A = this chain, B = another copy of it.
Amino acid sequence: MTLKNDRFLRALSREPVDVTPVWMMRQAGRYLPEYRATRKQAGDFLALCKTPELACEVTLQPLRRYSFDAAILFSDILTIPDALGQGLYFSEGEGPKFRKIIKTTTDVEHLPEINIASELAYVTDAVSLIRKELNGKVPLIGFSGSPWTLATYMIEGGSSKDFRMVKQFMYDNPEAMHLLLSKLADAVTDYLNAQIRAGAQVVQIFDTWGGVLSASCYASFSLQYMQNIVAKLIKENEGQRVPVILFTKNGGLWLESIADSCCQAIGLDWTINIGEARRRVGDRVALQGNMDPSVLYASPSVIRAEVGNIIHNYGEGSGHVFNLGHGISPGVSPENVKIFVDTVHELSAQYHT
Protein backbone atom coordinates (compact mmCIF):
# COMPACT_ATOMS: atom_id res chain seq x y z
CA MET A 1 0.00 0.00 0.00
CA THR A 2 1.31 3.45 -0.90
CA LEU A 3 1.58 5.95 1.93
CA LYS A 4 -0.45 9.10 1.49
CA ASN A 5 2.14 10.98 3.59
CA ASP A 6 5.71 9.71 3.54
CA ARG A 7 7.47 12.87 4.80
CA PHE A 8 8.56 11.14 7.97
CA LEU A 9 10.21 8.24 6.10
CA ARG A 10 11.78 10.64 3.62
CA ALA A 11 13.26 12.82 6.36
CA LEU A 12 14.67 9.73 8.09
CA SER A 13 16.40 8.86 4.79
CA ARG A 14 17.48 12.50 4.36
CA GLU A 15 15.54 12.71 1.07
CA PRO A 16 13.87 16.00 0.07
CA VAL A 17 10.58 16.90 1.78
CA ASP A 18 8.12 19.78 1.32
CA VAL A 19 8.00 20.63 5.04
CA THR A 20 9.64 19.19 8.15
CA PRO A 21 7.63 16.20 9.46
CA VAL A 22 6.52 16.25 13.07
CA TRP A 23 5.26 13.82 15.69
CA MET A 24 5.39 13.93 19.46
CA MET A 25 6.64 11.40 21.98
CA ARG A 26 3.65 10.30 24.10
CA GLN A 27 1.31 11.95 21.56
CA ALA A 28 -1.43 9.53 22.65
CA GLY A 29 -1.71 10.48 26.28
CA ARG A 30 -3.32 12.10 29.24
CA TYR A 31 -3.37 15.64 27.82
CA LEU A 32 -6.22 14.49 25.52
CA PRO A 33 -9.72 14.21 27.04
CA GLU A 34 -10.64 11.41 24.59
CA TYR A 35 -7.59 9.45 25.81
CA ARG A 36 -8.71 9.82 29.42
CA ALA A 37 -12.18 8.59 28.45
CA THR A 38 -10.81 5.48 26.70
CA ARG A 39 -8.46 4.75 29.57
CA LYS A 40 -11.39 4.96 31.97
CA GLN A 41 -13.27 2.52 29.75
CA ALA A 42 -10.29 0.14 29.83
CA GLY A 43 -10.13 0.29 33.62
CA ASP A 44 -6.46 1.11 33.96
CA PHE A 45 -3.32 1.89 32.01
CA LEU A 46 -2.10 -1.70 31.65
CA ALA A 47 -5.51 -2.94 30.53
CA LEU A 48 -5.44 -0.21 27.88
CA CYS A 49 -2.03 -1.45 26.66
CA LYS A 50 -3.23 -5.06 26.63
CA THR A 51 -6.48 -4.53 24.68
CA PRO A 52 -5.55 -4.15 21.00
CA GLU A 53 -8.81 -2.42 20.01
CA LEU A 54 -8.39 0.23 22.71
CA ALA A 55 -4.63 0.63 22.10
CA CYS A 56 -5.50 1.17 18.43
CA GLU A 57 -8.17 3.71 19.33
CA VAL A 58 -5.85 5.87 21.47
CA THR A 59 -3.06 5.58 18.89
CA LEU A 60 -5.38 7.11 16.30
CA GLN A 61 -6.90 9.82 18.52
CA PRO A 62 -4.14 12.44 18.13
CA LEU A 63 -4.14 11.85 14.35
CA ARG A 64 -7.79 12.94 14.22
CA ARG A 65 -7.01 16.27 15.89
CA TYR A 66 -3.57 17.15 14.54
CA SER A 67 -1.56 16.94 11.30
CA PHE A 68 1.07 14.60 12.75
CA ASP A 69 3.25 12.93 10.13
CA ALA A 70 3.57 9.65 12.03
CA ALA A 71 1.59 7.44 14.38
CA ILE A 72 3.27 5.65 17.27
CA LEU A 73 1.97 2.43 18.73
CA PHE A 74 0.35 3.03 22.10
CA SER A 75 2.10 0.77 24.59
CA ASP A 76 4.54 0.90 27.49
CA ILE A 77 8.33 0.61 27.43
CA LEU A 78 8.15 -2.09 30.15
CA THR A 79 6.14 -4.80 28.36
CA ILE A 80 9.21 -7.07 28.04
CA PRO A 81 10.04 -7.34 31.77
CA ASP A 82 6.32 -7.87 32.35
CA ALA A 83 6.34 -10.76 29.85
CA LEU A 84 9.42 -12.15 31.65
CA GLY A 85 7.26 -12.55 34.76
CA GLN A 86 8.42 -9.52 36.76
CA GLY A 87 4.82 -8.41 37.45
CA LEU A 88 4.47 -4.86 36.15
CA TYR A 89 1.91 -2.65 37.84
CA PHE A 90 1.23 1.06 38.15
CA SER A 91 0.57 2.79 41.43
CA GLU A 92 -1.13 6.18 41.12
CA GLY A 93 1.36 9.05 41.11
CA GLU A 94 4.37 6.77 41.54
CA GLY A 95 4.87 5.42 38.04
CA PRO A 96 5.69 1.82 37.09
CA LYS A 97 6.57 -0.79 39.71
CA PHE A 98 7.58 -4.45 39.59
CA ARG A 99 6.44 -7.13 42.04
CA LYS A 100 9.63 -9.15 41.46
CA ILE A 101 13.03 -7.46 41.62
CA ILE A 102 16.34 -8.72 40.22
CA LYS A 103 18.79 -8.86 43.12
CA THR A 104 21.34 -11.58 42.36
CA THR A 105 23.17 -13.32 39.56
CA THR A 106 20.85 -16.29 40.14
CA ASP A 107 17.82 -14.08 39.53
CA VAL A 108 19.30 -13.17 36.15
CA GLU A 109 20.13 -16.77 35.30
CA HIS A 110 16.60 -17.87 36.20
CA LEU A 111 14.81 -15.41 33.92
CA PRO A 112 12.56 -17.66 31.81
CA GLU A 113 13.34 -18.62 28.22
CA ILE A 114 10.16 -17.56 26.49
CA ASN A 115 9.03 -16.70 23.00
CA ILE A 116 8.79 -12.98 23.54
CA ALA A 117 6.84 -12.35 20.34
CA SER A 118 4.07 -14.78 21.27
CA GLU A 119 4.00 -13.60 24.90
CA LEU A 120 3.47 -10.08 23.60
CA ALA A 121 0.89 -10.96 20.94
CA TYR A 122 -1.34 -8.21 22.36
CA VAL A 123 1.24 -5.72 21.08
CA THR A 124 1.67 -7.19 17.62
CA ASP A 125 -2.12 -7.55 17.32
CA ALA A 126 -2.40 -3.84 18.11
CA VAL A 127 0.25 -3.05 15.47
CA SER A 128 -1.63 -5.00 12.77
CA LEU A 129 -4.91 -3.38 13.69
CA ILE A 130 -3.44 0.15 13.74
CA ARG A 131 -1.81 -0.37 10.33
CA LYS A 132 -5.16 -1.50 8.93
CA GLU A 133 -7.04 1.42 10.47
CA LEU A 134 -4.40 3.96 9.43
CA ASN A 135 -4.99 2.83 5.86
CA GLY A 136 -1.78 4.47 4.64
CA LYS A 137 -2.48 7.87 6.19
CA VAL A 138 0.97 8.12 7.86
CA PRO A 139 3.70 5.60 8.80
CA LEU A 140 3.46 3.64 12.05
CA ILE A 141 6.31 3.61 14.59
CA GLY A 142 6.93 0.60 16.83
CA PHE A 143 9.13 0.83 19.89
CA SER A 144 10.78 -0.73 22.91
CA GLY A 145 12.74 0.38 25.94
CA SER A 146 16.51 -0.15 25.63
CA PRO A 147 18.10 -3.08 27.49
CA TRP A 148 19.79 -0.73 29.98
CA THR A 149 16.58 1.20 30.62
CA LEU A 150 14.60 -2.03 31.13
CA ALA A 151 17.33 -3.28 33.49
CA THR A 152 17.10 -0.13 35.63
CA TYR A 153 13.41 -0.79 36.34
CA MET A 154 13.96 -4.54 36.86
CA ILE A 155 16.70 -3.96 39.46
CA GLU A 156 15.32 -0.82 41.13
CA GLY A 157 11.77 -2.21 41.12
CA GLY A 158 10.49 1.06 39.65
CA SER A 159 11.63 4.61 38.95
CA SER A 160 14.68 5.89 40.78
CA LYS A 161 16.31 9.18 41.66
CA ASP A 162 19.90 7.99 42.00
CA PHE A 163 19.89 4.50 40.44
CA ARG A 164 21.80 3.17 43.43
CA MET A 165 20.72 -0.47 43.13
CA VAL A 166 21.27 -0.88 39.40
CA LYS A 167 24.62 0.92 39.49
CA GLN A 168 25.83 -1.10 42.45
CA PHE A 169 24.79 -4.27 40.58
CA MET A 170 26.62 -3.05 37.47
CA TYR A 171 29.82 -2.10 39.28
CA ASP A 172 29.97 -5.12 41.58
CA ASN A 173 28.61 -7.80 39.21
CA PRO A 174 29.52 -6.65 35.71
CA GLU A 175 29.27 -10.19 34.34
CA ALA A 176 25.75 -10.72 35.67
CA MET A 177 24.81 -7.28 34.38
CA HIS A 178 26.11 -8.14 30.93
CA LEU A 179 24.18 -11.42 31.05
CA LEU A 180 20.99 -9.56 31.93
CA LEU A 181 21.54 -6.95 29.21
CA SER A 182 22.33 -9.62 26.68
CA LYS A 183 19.10 -11.50 27.49
CA LEU A 184 17.17 -8.24 27.26
CA ALA A 185 18.84 -7.33 23.96
CA ASP A 186 17.72 -10.67 22.50
CA ALA A 187 14.20 -10.06 23.75
CA VAL A 188 14.11 -6.49 22.38
CA THR A 189 15.37 -7.73 19.00
CA ASP A 190 12.67 -10.42 18.77
CA TYR A 191 10.05 -7.97 19.99
CA LEU A 192 10.90 -5.23 17.51
CA ASN A 193 11.20 -7.71 14.64
CA ALA A 194 7.73 -9.03 15.54
CA GLN A 195 6.43 -5.46 15.48
CA ILE A 196 8.05 -4.92 12.07
CA ARG A 197 6.51 -8.14 10.71
CA ALA A 198 3.14 -7.00 12.05
CA GLY A 199 3.47 -3.70 10.20
CA ALA A 200 5.64 -1.21 12.12
CA GLN A 201 7.40 0.87 9.44
CA VAL A 202 9.93 2.54 11.75
CA VAL A 203 11.15 1.50 15.21
CA GLN A 204 12.45 3.64 18.04
CA ILE A 205 14.47 2.43 21.02
CA PHE A 206 13.89 4.55 24.13
CA ASP A 207 17.01 4.74 26.27
CA THR A 208 15.38 6.91 28.89
CA TRP A 209 18.08 6.29 31.50
CA GLY A 210 21.28 5.86 29.48
CA GLY A 211 22.14 9.46 30.39
CA VAL A 212 22.66 8.65 34.07
CA LEU A 213 25.78 6.65 33.24
CA SER A 214 29.40 7.71 32.91
CA ALA A 215 30.69 7.96 29.34
CA SER A 216 32.46 4.59 29.49
CA CYS A 217 29.57 2.79 31.21
CA TYR A 218 27.15 4.19 28.65
CA ALA A 219 29.30 2.75 25.86
CA SER A 220 29.57 -0.73 27.36
CA PHE A 221 26.29 -1.14 29.28
CA SER A 222 23.84 0.72 27.07
CA LEU A 223 24.99 1.68 23.59
CA GLN A 224 26.71 -1.64 22.86
CA TYR A 225 23.43 -3.51 23.34
CA MET A 226 21.43 -1.06 21.25
CA GLN A 227 24.02 -1.46 18.52
CA ASN A 228 23.68 -5.26 18.72
CA ILE A 229 19.92 -4.89 18.34
CA VAL A 230 20.21 -2.53 15.36
CA ALA A 231 22.47 -5.07 13.64
CA LYS A 232 19.87 -7.85 14.00
CA LEU A 233 16.71 -5.94 13.10
CA ILE A 234 14.86 -6.66 9.87
CA LYS A 235 16.34 -4.20 7.39
CA GLU A 236 13.56 -4.15 4.83
CA ASN A 237 9.87 -5.02 4.92
CA GLU A 238 7.12 -4.65 2.30
CA GLY A 239 9.86 -3.43 -0.07
CA GLN A 240 10.73 -0.49 2.21
CA ARG A 241 13.72 0.11 4.44
CA VAL A 242 12.79 0.02 8.15
CA PRO A 243 14.65 2.89 9.85
CA VAL A 244 15.72 2.73 13.50
CA ILE A 245 15.74 5.78 15.79
CA LEU A 246 17.86 5.70 18.97
CA PHE A 247 16.79 8.10 21.68
CA THR A 248 19.05 8.47 24.72
CA LYS A 249 17.84 11.17 27.08
CA ASN A 250 20.85 13.28 28.17
CA GLY A 251 22.94 11.56 25.49
CA GLY A 252 24.07 14.76 23.78
CA LEU A 253 27.72 14.24 24.73
CA TRP A 254 27.81 10.89 22.92
CA LEU A 255 26.24 11.68 19.52
CA GLU A 256 29.26 10.59 17.50
CA SER A 257 29.29 7.12 19.04
CA ILE A 258 25.50 6.82 18.78
CA ALA A 259 25.77 7.68 15.08
CA ASP A 260 28.37 4.88 14.75
CA SER A 261 25.73 2.34 15.83
CA CYS A 262 24.27 2.23 12.28
CA CYS A 263 20.93 3.65 13.38
CA GLN A 264 19.20 5.88 10.81
CA ALA A 265 18.30 8.68 13.24
CA ILE A 266 19.19 10.00 16.68
CA GLY A 267 16.52 11.37 18.99
CA LEU A 268 17.73 14.50 20.83
CA ASP A 269 16.56 15.97 24.09
CA TRP A 270 16.35 19.77 24.39
CA THR A 271 19.71 20.38 26.08
CA ILE A 272 21.64 20.42 22.80
CA ASN A 273 21.44 23.01 20.04
CA ILE A 274 20.25 20.94 17.07
CA GLY A 275 22.48 22.90 14.69
CA GLU A 276 25.52 21.91 16.73
CA ALA A 277 24.29 18.30 16.78
CA ARG A 278 23.97 18.38 12.98
CA ARG A 279 27.53 19.68 12.59
CA ARG A 280 28.79 16.91 14.86
CA VAL A 281 27.07 13.97 13.14
CA GLY A 282 27.35 15.34 9.60
CA ASP A 283 25.26 13.46 7.06
CA ARG A 284 25.56 10.09 8.75
CA VAL A 285 22.15 10.13 10.45
CA ALA A 286 18.91 12.09 10.59
CA LEU A 287 18.05 13.99 13.78
CA GLN A 288 14.79 13.97 15.69
CA GLY A 289 13.79 16.59 18.24
CA ASN A 290 14.18 18.68 20.23
CA MET A 291 11.85 21.22 21.83
CA ASP A 292 11.62 21.30 25.63
CA PRO A 293 8.16 19.82 26.40
CA SER A 294 7.72 22.62 28.97
CA VAL A 295 7.43 25.14 26.14
CA LEU A 296 3.96 23.71 25.47
CA TYR A 297 2.86 25.20 28.80
CA ALA A 298 3.78 28.68 27.54
CA SER A 299 1.74 31.07 25.40
CA PRO A 300 1.18 30.54 21.65
CA SER A 301 3.67 33.26 20.70
CA VAL A 302 6.40 31.57 22.75
CA ILE A 303 5.62 28.18 21.20
CA ARG A 304 5.86 29.68 17.73
CA ALA A 305 9.15 31.43 18.55
CA GLU A 306 10.74 28.28 19.98
CA VAL A 307 9.64 26.14 17.02
CA GLY A 308 11.10 28.80 14.73
CA ASN A 309 14.42 28.81 16.58
CA ILE A 310 14.84 25.05 16.30
CA ILE A 311 13.96 25.01 12.59
CA HIS A 312 16.39 27.87 12.02
CA ASN A 313 19.13 26.16 14.04
CA TYR A 314 18.76 22.94 12.03
CA GLY A 315 18.97 24.97 8.84
CA GLU A 316 18.22 24.08 5.23
CA GLY A 317 17.59 20.66 3.80
CA SER A 318 16.10 17.37 4.89
CA GLY A 319 17.12 15.04 7.71
CA HIS A 320 15.14 16.62 10.53
CA VAL A 321 12.07 15.11 12.18
CA PHE A 322 10.54 17.64 14.55
CA ASN A 323 9.61 16.32 17.97
CA LEU A 324 9.78 17.23 21.62
CA GLY A 325 12.93 16.39 23.55
CA HIS A 326 10.89 14.06 25.79
CA GLY A 327 7.26 12.94 26.11
CA ILE A 328 4.53 15.58 26.29
CA SER A 329 3.47 16.41 29.85
CA PRO A 330 -0.04 15.44 30.98
CA GLY A 331 -1.15 19.01 31.84
CA VAL A 332 -0.60 20.63 28.42
CA SER A 333 -3.65 22.12 26.71
CA PRO A 334 -4.68 20.37 23.46
CA GLU A 335 -4.93 23.78 21.75
CA ASN A 336 -1.23 24.40 22.26
CA VAL A 337 -0.40 21.11 20.57
CA LYS A 338 -2.28 22.26 17.47
CA ILE A 339 -0.26 25.49 17.42
CA PHE A 340 2.94 23.46 17.80
CA VAL A 341 2.21 21.03 14.95
CA ASP A 342 0.88 23.62 12.52
CA THR A 343 3.79 25.97 13.21
CA VAL A 344 6.35 23.28 12.39
CA HIS A 345 4.77 22.79 8.97
CA GLU A 346 4.25 26.50 8.35
CA LEU A 347 7.68 27.79 9.35
CA SER A 348 9.73 24.94 7.89
CA ALA A 349 8.50 25.26 4.30
CA GLN A 350 11.05 27.97 3.46
CA TYR A 351 13.92 25.66 4.49
CA HIS A 352 12.92 23.04 1.89
CA THR A 353 13.14 24.17 -1.71
CB-based contact B171/A298 at 8 Å: yes
Do residues B171 and A302 form an inter-chain contact, with CB atoms below 8 A?
A: yes
CA distance A272 to B218 in the complex (A): 10
Chain B residue nearest in CB terms to A292: B214
Q: Contact: B253 with A171, CB < 8 Å?
A: no
Please measure, in the bound complex, the distance between the C-alpha atom of A350 and the C-alpha atom of B331, giving whole angstroms. Answer: 56
The answer, among B164, B211, B253, B298, for a CB contact under 8 Å with A297, is B164
Question: Which residues of A274-294 are within 8 A (CB) of B?
Answer: 276, 292-294
A215 sits at the interface (CB 8 A): yes
Say yes or no: is A220 at the interface (Cβ < 8 Å to chain B).
Answer: no
A248-277 contact mask (Cβ, 8 Å, vs B): 1 or 0: 001011000000000000000011110010
Contacts of A212 in B (CB 8 A): 271
- B276 lies within 8 A of A215 (CB): yes
Assess the A298–B162 pair: CB atoms within 8 A: no
**CB-based contact A271/B162 at 8 Å:** no
A227 within 8 A of B: no
Q: Tell me what chain A mostly uses at the interface: helix, strand, loop, or mixed.
A: helix
**Shortest Cβ distance from A324 into chain B, in angstroms?**
12
Would B329 and A168 count as touching, CB distance under 8 A? no
B-contact bits for A294-330, CB 8 A (1 contact / 0 none): 1101110010001001000000000000000000010
Contacts of A215 in B (CB 8 A): 271-273, 276
Bound CA–CA A293/B162 (angstroms) = 9
Residues on B with beta carbons closer than 8 Å to the beta carbon of A329: 162, 164
Say which size band chain A's interface belongs to: 35 or more
Q: Which residues of B contact A331 (CB under 8 A)?
A: 164
Is residue A216 within 8 Å, beta carbon to beta carbon, of the partner chain? yes
For the complex formed, measure the closest distance between the CB of A163 and the CB atoms of chain B, giving whole angstroms.
7
Are B213 and A271 touching (Cβ within 8 A)?
yes
Q: How far is the CB of A343 from chain B (nearest CB, A)?
A: 15
If A294-B171, A331-B164 touch, does A216 touch B299 (CB 8 Å cutoff)?
Answer: no
Given A162-B293, A167-B295, A250-B250, 18 further pairs, Cβ under 8 A: A162-B329, A164-B297, A164-B329, A167-B292, A167-B297, A168-B297, A168-B298, A171-B297, A171-B306, A172-B299, A172-B302, A213-B271, A214-B270, A215-B271, A215-B272, A218-B271, A253-B271, A253-B272
Q: List 13 A-B pairs, Cβ < 8 Å.
A: A162-B293, A167-B294, A167-B295, A168-B294, A171-B299, A171-B302, A172-B298, A214-B273, A215-B273, A216-B309, A250-B250, A252-B252, A253-B272
